[in-house]
Structure 1
Amino acid sequence: MLQEFDPVIKEHVRRITRDDMHVYYLGHTIQNELILLLAHEIKSEIIKKVKQAKYFSVILDCTPVTSHQEQMSLILRYINVSSTCVSIEESYLGFLNVDETTGKRLFDITQDELKSLDLDIDDVRGQGYDNGSNVKGKHQGVQKRFLDINPRAFYTPCGCHSLNLALCDMANTCIKGRDFFGIIQRIYTIFANSSKRWQILKNNVKGLTVKPLSITPWESRVESVKAIRFQISDIREALLQVAESDNDSLIQSQAKSLATNDLGDFEFLVAIVLWFEILYAVNLVSKKLQSSDMLIDIAIKEVKGLISFFEEFRETGLSKAINDAKEIAVEMDVDPVFVQKRVIRRKRQFDENPIDNDVSLSAEESFKINYFLYIVDQAIGSLKTRFEQYTEYENIFGFLFSCAELKSYDDKSLKLSCSKLEVALKNGERSDIDANELFVELRLLNHFLPSENMSPVDVLTFLKQRDCFPNALIAYRVLLTIPVTVASAERSFSKLKLLKSYLR
């Protein structure tokens, strides 16, 4: 099969079949040895680049494989300065077998691996993990153990994972939110559990296919919601056909209930419009953050933009969603009003005072207060809490985020910022930079930089070409080394799933 796509292999096989050679190199032992030699050569080249960059970040993530063995992916993020234009690279170095997932054990394995690669742990300037307590923990986590040895190893929780947890907070703390996603999953289950019912769905829905809810990446649930949001009328018709034609009375009852009580409820129509807008906005930011060369300053802007979106959405989102839901309701012949539900009251005992402090709310007001404002306020609060580390980075590195930002600082503010950075990059009596020298270099640099606004990567390329601003060069290299997500580690797991199958 290989010879069909590779002319070198094709020539090799031809010579074997003609007995022109007797050394085949096709045995599994030799093939594995060749793979290991190639891997060693690639790893050596990566380590050479890391040592040339000097500063690097460690990105870790774990997953169990088919053989029930926990594997930890090791990724290094560094600045490639070997070419004229500098670039940010995140290089995969291998999977490490993990026999215990405690913070201490994961740190010991990582430390031993760095030593075997001849990399100095004192050169680590960033750590990127998910939000698990064994790595994130402030007392026993991997990040704390790194900081005990090297206080300059800035820890950044994975931005995508933090967005995912923010969505979990929104949905799981609201009963109506949990019920909404339960309905979305039930719609998929009704059709997916039978080929006959799936055919009914295909006959009615010609566009997007209904999808199950994603278990881990919550922002991916936008695809499940989207399929129903824009085809709700067709899906309702398919459910009604299932209710009429299916032989199982339980399925008939469930399909009819979904079609009439859930999809025929104006409150559900408003909710699906709201959740699509929310999930779409979060998913858009999450996709941007997953880039391997994502910079911390851009990540901060994206998260601030998302918080601003929710603050504006809080004021105008519900009214727009109601208008969109009314258009859907007219198409589906559903009454576009919120149904007032009976309030269940607790029986008052004979010795209780007859004081009724309950405020009577209309159905629409109740939806706004107990559902819409609840999830939006939860989103704003959760985003600010989970990304508070970004505020610290902005305080330390903010003056380096752009050329325009740097030029906006007066001498007093610039000197103060340089002093803050020197303290942040200090380990004992040693510091990566000298604040006074950095101040002089940046003040001089303002006169040399072009008039157009430049990103930190552009500024670092400019500095590398001049090679006369040593402290500024170090400051920008450290800034660009800080990781934003662990997406590179997740991608390595995707490749592992393809390579390490059950038979292997």
Structure 2
Amino acid sequence: MPPKQLFGAQKHKKRKRDDALKKSQAGAMHKFIRKPPIEEPTEEPIEEQEHVEKQPVEKQEHVNEQKHAEAELEEPDEGEHVKTNINEEHVKPNLVDIFDPKRSGLPKGTLDGEGYSDWHYAHGSLKKHEASLDHLTNMNKWFDMRKRLKLNETIDKVQYEQFKKERDYWVQVLLRIVTLVKFLAKNNLAFRGKKKLYQKGNGNFLGLIEMLEEFDPVIKEHVRRIINDEVHVHYLGYNIQNELIFMIAEEIKKEIIKQIKEAKYYSIILDCTTDSSHLEQMTIIVRYLKLSSNSVTVEKSFLGFLNVNDSTGKGLFEITVEELKSLGLELDDMRGQGYDNGANMKGKHQGVQTSFLNENPRAFYTPCGCHSLNLTLCDMATSYNVKSWSLKTLSQTRWESLVDSVKAIKLQLAAVREALLELGEKDGDRATADEATTIAENEFGFDFLVSIVIWYEVLNTVNIVSKRLQSKDMHLEIAIKEIKRLIEVFKDFKENGFLKAINEAKKLAIEMGIDPIFAQKRVIKRKKQSDESSSSQEASFTREEDFRVNYFLYITDQAIASLETRFDQFKNYEKLFGFLFPHNLRGIDDEDLKLSCNFLENALKFEGRSDIDGEELYMELSSLDTLYTMEFKSPVEVLKHLNETQENFPNARIAYRILLSIPVTVASAERSFSKLKLLKSYLRTTMSQERLNGLAMIAIESEILDNINCEEVIKQFVVKNARRASRIIG
């Protein structure tokens, strides 16, 4: 509402109040103005009269009254009285124009006064101030205050001791809570059940608090305060748990990002799976090198799970690029990408690897070596329609793991056959008894025994290579050697393996009481065509020769062809980086070395910029002492030697860093899925994505977790909230 209009009486009262306020504040600035020295008046009486008129009325009346009182007490004569009046007329008032920068008669400035406008005179005033009585007095007071602060003898000693005791108490409580969070997350344990202490089924977190309460005096006091309602903030709720989990995970992620940026070059490993709540989760693993003056380590770090709604190649590419940008990782520094053999990943037109290569042609794509081995075995099995019955559960994707199923049958063939015959005789169910007898008498023939021996040898050989490829420090040189060796093993097995399999199968047949001969099958005669001569005869094989040609040679040829096709990318890597392998570097001639260096320079060039200079790389590798190269067994040892003399081999160091950054398998991504199944089980399907990522980061990167400073986490936790800061920091 608008203010009311004032009437005559109200206006008069308001005017009187304003006049009284002005009168009371008259001359209030005089105490802040330094008085200039009084000078004897010489000329310009008009200006003096003007200054006299500016003096406030109250002050002039007060001066007159004071002088009148002094006159009455002293009773001076008329001459003195006249002289006093004359002096009063010529006294200059103690007023200074504070807006006049050129006023004279004032000192150049003081440390505790108006300051300095001319610093030329500051040093003199500073020396004068240091020797002044005020400075010495205040310094003595400060020394005394500092001494009493150290001895806790200040006036608020009791209050400060009480606050310090309460602060230390809360710090110790938070330290124990953070330690419990780290322990539960590191061991993949669930946190909470019901929300109250000493209530049945309240979960692992509160259960550990109850356990510590019996032994730890800090937690005992904390629980006592909670039970007696002495505190309303106890930091045991699920929101605090989530906040601490997120903070610890962020500290781990910061350390990982720091190491990746120090390494510069990195590769990504992606894989997808479905969690217990039927959401598609994609894991991001980064492979990089951790370099120091005396060590070179290949690291594979987990960066998180991403909830994927679009599983196409374009969708996976966009969400991956967005995540890398949010983490501060440059796409231009990516030198490798490793995925499984899914169409959305390895597609040549719309796959993820194609999208990354369009953005950065130096991000070399490597299909997972273990997946390629599994697909090789799948090609062998499906090509001959291998029967799929076993004592153990079969896997349709991890065929090399079927060695355990085959091993269980191979080592217990006699016992299995006896059990089936006994089941056929004693089982009350006629259908079950007939099926068991049929399997024992018909399936356990000599050809079955030979097949078991062959497949056990194949699966065992592939499984050994697969386990080696999954090692943490695996790199291209070892992977190429392993695949070449596997192909040679299959070629040798093709030539000599059949006779060995026959001999071993005969031993098993004798133990089981089975005739060691191949069962004869009914010959199916083909109807001859009208234009076919009667003299033409089909090639006839014995049963053993027929098994060798149509079964053994068929699956071994399929294995060799599949290995050479599926690991074709490894051949390209050998052409590109093969000259950097120590065993090749020792025997290569200068011309081939120079061509290889220039070829690598072109492969690492994008938009007119290359990571290395081919000519300089050639000179650096040529200058390596032959004695040193004889001692090197792997590219890791070569890079370690080059890293000790960083200034001499810059291009060679970059080439070896890129070589060792390229992934071979996606085994680390599969391991993160194992943690995912432990964390987000069917009992914890409502877990949020943020909490899942935090728990997974702590559980997977437990080595970095051990180096996290709990006090720093507590400091960040406290500063995040003003009420916590007032309680703990003060």
TM over 0.5: yes
Could you say what the CA RMSD is over the residues aligned between the two structures, in angstroms? 2.0
Displacement, 1:398? 0.5
- Please state if 1:280 is matched with 2:460: yes
Per the alignment, in what secondary structure is the counterpart of residue 92 of structure 1? strand
Displacement, 1:352? 6.9
Q: Cα deviation per residue 1:70-110 (whole Å; 9 max; x = unaligned)?
A: 10000000001256311000101000111111111110111
- Please state if 1:104 is matched with 2:284: no
Report the AA paired with residue 258 of structure 1: I
Supply the distance in 2 between the matched residues of 1:172 and 1:54 (Cα, whole angstroms): 44
Supply the distance in 1 between the matched residues of 2:552 and 2:221 (Cα, whole angstroms): 72
The one of the two structures with greater contact order (alpha-carbon pairs below 8 A, sep at least 6) is 1
CA shift in 2, pair 1:385/1:252, >3 Å? same
Match of 2:327 among 98, 103, 117: 117
Per the alignment, in what secondary structure is the counterpart of residue 170 of structure 1? helix
Map residues 29-428 of structure 1 onto 2, 5 A cutoff. Answer: 29-82=239-292, 84-175=294-385, 178-179=386-387, 182=388, 184-185=389-390, 188=391, 211-263=392-444, 265-347=445-527, 354=534, 357-402=537-582, 404-428=583-607
Supply the distance in 2 between the matched residues of 1:4 and 1:314 (Cα, whole angstroms): 64
TM-score with structure 2 setting the length: 0.63
Displacement, 1:4? 9.2
> Do the aligned residues in 1 keep the contact of 2:343 with 2:351 (CA within 8 Å)?
yes
Per the alignment, in what secondary structure is the counterpart of residue 95 of structure 1? strand
Structure 2: tracts of 5 or more residues without a match: 1-203, 685-730
> Do the aligned residues in 2 keep the contact of 1:81 with 1:87 (CA within 8 Å)?
yes
1:202: which partner in 2? Answer: none
Displacement, 1:259? 0.9
Displacement, 1:400? 1.0
1:16: which partner in 2? Answer: 222
Q: Cα deviation per residue 1:134-167 (whole Å; 9 max; x = unaligned)?
A: 1101111111111111110010000000000000
> Do the aligned residues in 1 keep the contact of 2:586 with 2:626 (CA within 8 Å)?
no
Supply the distance in 2 between the matched residues of 1:257 and 1:446 (Cα, whole angstroms): 71
Displacement, 1:378? 0.2
The structure with more radius of gyration: 2
Displacement, 1:5? 12
Displacement, 1:111? 0.6
Per the alignment, in what secondary structure is the counterpart of residue 445 of structure 1? coil
Displacement, 1:353? 6.0
- Please state if 1:456 is matched with 2:635: yes
Displacement, 1:25? 2.1
Supply the distance in 2 between the matched residues of 1:410 and 1:392 (Cα, whole angstroms): 21
Q: Cα deviation per residue 1:290-319 (whole Å; 9 max; x = unaligned)?
A: 112211110010111110100000011010
Supply the distance in 2 between the matched residues of 1:306 and 1:225 (Cα, whole angstroms): 20
CA shift in 2, pair 1:236/1:67, >3 Å? same
CA shift in 2, pair 1:13/1:347, >3 Å? farther
Supply the distance in 2 between the matched residues of 1:138 and 1:164 (Cα, whole angstroms): 21
Supply the distance in 2 between the matched residues of 1:219 and 1:316 (Cα, whole angstroms): 22
Per the alignment, in what secondary structure is the counterpart of residue 250 of structure 2? helix
Aligned residue-pair number: 473
> Do the aligned residues in 2 keep the contact of 1:299 with 1:484 (CA within 8 Å)?
yes
CA shift in 2, pair 1:13/1:100, >3 Å? same
> Do the aligned residues in 2 keep the contact of 1:49 with 1:82 (CA within 8 Å)?
no
> Do the aligned residues in 1 keep the contact of 2:336 with 2:363 (CA within 8 Å)?
yes
Per the alignment, in what secondary structure is the counterpart of residue 624 of structure 2? helix
Displacement, 1:462? 1.3
Q: Cα deviation per residue 1:17-56 (whole Å; 9 max; x = unaligned)?
A: 3338844322111101111111111111101111111000
Report the AA paired with residue 464 of structure 1: N
Report the AA paired with residue 129 of structure 1: Y
Supply the distance in 1 between the matched residues of 2:481 and 2:326 (Cα, whole angstroms): 38
Displacement, 1:357? 4.3
TM-score with structure 1 setting the length: 0.90
Displacement, 1:394? 0.4
> Do the aligned residues in 2 keep the contact of 1:419 with 1:435 (CA within 8 Å)?
yes
Q: Cα deviation per residue 1:236-277 (whole Å; 9 max; x = unaligned)?
A: 1111111122222222122111111011x0000000000000
Supply the distance in 1 between the matched residues of 2:570 and 2:210 (Cα, whole angstroms): 48
Displacement, 1:448? 7.3
Report the more deviating stretch, 471-480 or 353-362. 353-362
Report the AA paired with residue 674 of structure 2: S
Per the alignment, in what secondary structure is the counterpart of residue 46 of structure 1? helix
Supply the distance in 1 between the matched residues of 2:562 and 2:462 (Cα, whole angstroms): 13
CA shift in 2, pair 1:330/1:145, >3 Å? same
Per the alignment, in what secondary structure is the counterpart of residue 24 of structure 1? coil
Q: Cα deviation per residue 1:344-399 (whole Å; 9 max; x = unaligned)?
A: 33445778765754211110011001000000000000000000100000001011
Report % sequence identity. 57
Displacement, 1:215? 2.6
Per the alignment, in what secondary structure is the counterpart of residue 225 of structure 2? coil
CA shift in 2, pair 1:6/1:225, >3 Å? farther
Displacement, 1:405? 2.2
Structure 1: tracts of 5 or more residues without a match: 189-210
